[in-house]
Amino acid sequence: MPEHEVPEPQRPAAGRSAGQREPRRPTAPDGLLVVDKPADWTSHDVVARVRRLAGTRKVGHAGTLDPMATGVLVLGIGRATRLLTYVVGADKEYRATIRLGVSTTTDDAEGEVLARVDAGAVGRGALDGAIAALTGTISQVPSSVSAIKVNGQRAYARVRAGEQVELAARPVTVGTFVVRGVVPGVAEDLAVLDVDVTVVCSSGTYVRALARDLGARLGVGGHLTALRRTRVGGYGLDVARTLEQLVDGVGAAEVLPLAVAARATFPARELTPEEATALSYGKRLVAVPSGPHGTAELPVAAFAPDGALVALLVDDGPVARPVLVLAPA
């Protein structure tokens, strides 16, 4: 799906004559902004809009959502863009609808139909068994239209250019894959099943691929018809803002400060004044065996006695090594 810019809505400009430029907005504070992404927008579209609303170009996102998907998109503003690499590693929660009986080129509703198979004979027992087989740590082949790079080029770009792309399987963890409802239907005179599910999974898991593989296990094919991300790490829809709610700008009321944002997703380590000073110089600390364990995917957030976020740490044997210092000396 080609990325596109969605036009900025034209709002009345009281007291400003035609041809005058809109006054520059105040620069938003550093922190994370959780946006409830609308359908038919790319993640790039949302970043471009928020750059204007936040009065700064220093805005990035922590993991894309397909244009058809809605829900939680975590953005970093200012210094918080440095956190995004690590927020990407947090687990994610989705609500999705999988249509069994139809497979597509993209494993979602935006692709061309590859095959239709009558799914009327698929029973709940078979459905639950196939879902159980796709739960836990599994080996998953990403969708060929994913953003994974193949020889320096995105897989979806190669597919659009007419190439056949085969991606290698990779281990992912699907912690939760449960059915919320099953709705029988008819498409092109064949029986289909629309299965509403909740999925909680590790970073790098493709829900489109789960839909594809569920249909394959049941012998009828499947694809994703709806996807809503409800949580990334500790950031859920309860703290998300729609673009309509942000139309007047992005200020302190909408942005999660660095320390608050870090506590919401990363395990926390409270520092002594001496440790906080050492970390501010990029020095390593003694690891705390009984304390939080930091990994490359999900490091530990280290906080000074005053509550400020000093650094992110990963365990390296007997020491805790800073991978990101946010309060340098």
pLDDT digits (tens, 9 = 90+) for 209-257: 999 999 999 999 999 999 999 999 999 999 999 999 999 999 999 999 9
Residue 155: pLDDT band (50, 70, 90) is low
Give the pLDDT score at 25. Answer: 78
Percent of the chain with pLDDT over 90: 75
Name the nearest CA neighbour of 315 among 324, 323, 307: 323
Lowest mean pLDDT among 56-60, 214-218, 289-293: 289-293
Lowest mean pLDDT among 17-21, 193-197, 321-325: 17-21
Name the nearest CA neighbour of 31 among 97, 85, 79: 79
Whole-number average pLDDT of the chain: 89
Domains of the chain plus CATH, in order, are 31-90+233-258 (3.30.2350.10), 109-222 (3.30.2350.10), 266-325 (2.30.130.10)
Give the pLDDT score at 228. Answer: 98
Residue 166: pLDDT band (50, 70, 90) is confident
- pLDDT value at 329 more than 90: no
CA distances from 296 to 86, 271, 299 (A): 8, 20, 6
Residues with a catalytic annotation lie at 66
Q: Print burial letters for 110-137: b (CB count within 10 Å at least 16), e (below 16).
A: bbeeeebbebeebeeeebeebbeebbee
Residue type, 215: G
Please enumerate in sequence order all residues whose Cβ is within 8 A of that of 253, keeping only pairs 6 or more positions apart, or say none: none
Give the pLDDT score at 152. Answer: 62
- pLDDT value at 204 more than 60: yes
- Characterize the bridge pairing of strands 268-270 and 300-303: parallel
Lowest mean pLDDT among 8-12, 69-73, 189-193: 8-12
Give the pLDDT score at 153. Answer: 64
- Secondary structure class of 280 (helix, strand, coil): helix
Extract the tokens encoding 208.
Answer: 């489109």
